[in-house]
């Protein structure tokens, strides 16, 4: 069995995958800057600060594949994003190269393309339109992944994750919801499929309202089981509790687009028609 490293083990996605992945990858090695509070004795954990290349190299030793969910997971200051996501992301790929890791799954985000309007369906080959510094860091990570695939032979899969959880929590998330078990499917494709070189997939379940063309994932065998419409009533009930957001309600990135937005709202541009 391949030895798999998962960064970001203490985060929301990492905490869920810690329960789902061990039956598939028994030698799973967990890492984060601090151990999970509920770490069990049978889980293997190595702490690492991703902004330190030497620490990244230490956790990559003897590893076959990496699930990179580590870093700063929300919008933040430039310094926070720079250290955790940009320097940390580069370090992770460089450490993987130096230690002979064969495959990397990079947790990108829908926020790499958040400034596309909701009415415009997009594929994975569109020009990035990040909706904040966090989104910029994900565009950077995808670019570094492409570089290391083409120049150094790493097999890299970038997952533009929508909203991960047990159910979609509002109207926007009906379009971008990702069931945990479906994320496991995408991870397995990236870690195991023989034809992976460099790919970008959208991390989304079977969502009838989807804004994304995810045909590449399906061509590699992706068959999601989660259906967002099964939770339509719950999502709409929660949506009714939210205040209107003219900017966030127009763009795919939602509230991330509204943060620090100081352009003229009347000049919201539909980039698909330019």
pLDDT digits (tens, 9 = 90+) for 44-81: 999 999 999 999 999 999 999 999 999 999 999 999 99
User: What per-residue confidence (pLDDT) applies to 269?
Assistant: 60
Q: What is the CA radius of gyration of the chain?
A: 18
∠ at Cα 6 (13, 173), nearest 5°? Answer: 20
Query: Residue 150: what are its φ and ψ, rounded to 5°?
Result: -75, -40
User: What per-residue confidence (pLDDT) applies to 7?
Assistant: 98
Q: Are 105 and 157 in contact (CB under 8 A)?
A: yes
> What sections of 173-266 are H helices per DSSP?
173-176, 180-192, 215-219, 232-239, 255-258
Q: Are 132 and 185 in contact (CB under 8 A)?
A: no
| Topology of the domain covering 4-273 | Rossmann fold (3.40.50)
Q: How far apart are CA 253 and CA 46, in angstroms?
A: 33
> What pLDDT tens digit does each residue of the chain (274 aa) get?
799 999 999 999 999 999 999 999 999 999 999 999 999 999 999 999 999 999 999 999 999 999 999 999 999 999 999 999 999 999 999 999 999 999 999 999 999 999 999 999 999 999 999 999 999 999 999 999 999 999 999 999 999 999 999 999 999 999 999 999 999 999 999 999 999 999 999 999 999 999 999 999 999 999 999 999 999 999 999 999 999 999 999 999 999 999 999 988 776 765 444 4
User: What per-residue confidence (pLDDT) applies to 272?
Assistant: 42
- Kindly name the residue from 134, 148, 202, 222 that is annotated as catalytic: 134
Instruction: Write the DSSP symbol of residue 201.
Output: E
Is 134 a catalytic site residue? yes
Other CB atoms within a 10 A radius of the CB of residue 59 amount to: 23
∠ at Cα 89 (156, 127), nearest 5°? Answer: 65
Helix (H) or strand (E) holding 105: strand 103-109
The 65-68 sheet, strands edge to edge: 44-47, 29-32, 4-7, 65-68, 103-109, 155-161, 198-203
Antiparallel, parallel or unpaired: β 163-164 and 177-178: parallel
User: What per-residue confidence (pLDDT) applies to 265?
Assistant: 77
Contacts of 74 (CB under 8 A, 6+ apart): 134
Tokens read off for 143: 């670019």
């Amino acid at each position: 069995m391949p030895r798999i490293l998962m960064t970001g083990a203490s985060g929301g996605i990492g905490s869920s995958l810690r329960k789902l992945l061990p039956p598939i990858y028994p030698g799973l090695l967990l890492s984060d800057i601090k151990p999970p509070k509920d770490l069990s004795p049978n889980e293997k954990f190595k702490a690492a600060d991703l902004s330190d290349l030497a620490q990244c190299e230490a956790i990559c030793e003897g590893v076959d594949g990496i699930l990179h969910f580590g870093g700063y997971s929300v919008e933040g200051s430039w310094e926070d994003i720079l250290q955790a996501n940009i320097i940390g992301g580069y370090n992770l790929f460089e450490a993987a190269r130096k230690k002979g890791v064969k495959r990397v799954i990079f947790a990108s985000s829908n926020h790499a393309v958040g400034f596309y309007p909701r009415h415009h369906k997009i594929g994975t080959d569109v020009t990035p339109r990040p909706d904040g510094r966090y989104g910029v860091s994900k565009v950077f990570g995808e670019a570094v992944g492409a570089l290391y695939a083409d120049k150094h032979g790493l097999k890299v899969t970038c997952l533009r994750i929508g909203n991960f959880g047990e159910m979609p929590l509002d109207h926007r998330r009906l379009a971008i919801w990702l069931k945990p078990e479906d994320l496991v499917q995408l991870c397995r494709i990236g870690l195991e499929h023989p034809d992976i070189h460099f790919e970008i997939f959208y991390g989304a379940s079977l969502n009838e309202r989807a804004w994304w063309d995810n045909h590449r994932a399906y061509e590699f065998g992706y068959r999601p089981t989660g259906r967002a419409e099964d939770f339509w009533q719950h999502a709409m009930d929660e949506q009714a509790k939210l205040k209107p957001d003219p900017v966030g309600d127009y763009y795919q990135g939602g509230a991330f687009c509204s943060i620090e937005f100081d352009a003229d709202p009347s000049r919201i541009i539909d980039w698909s028609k330019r």
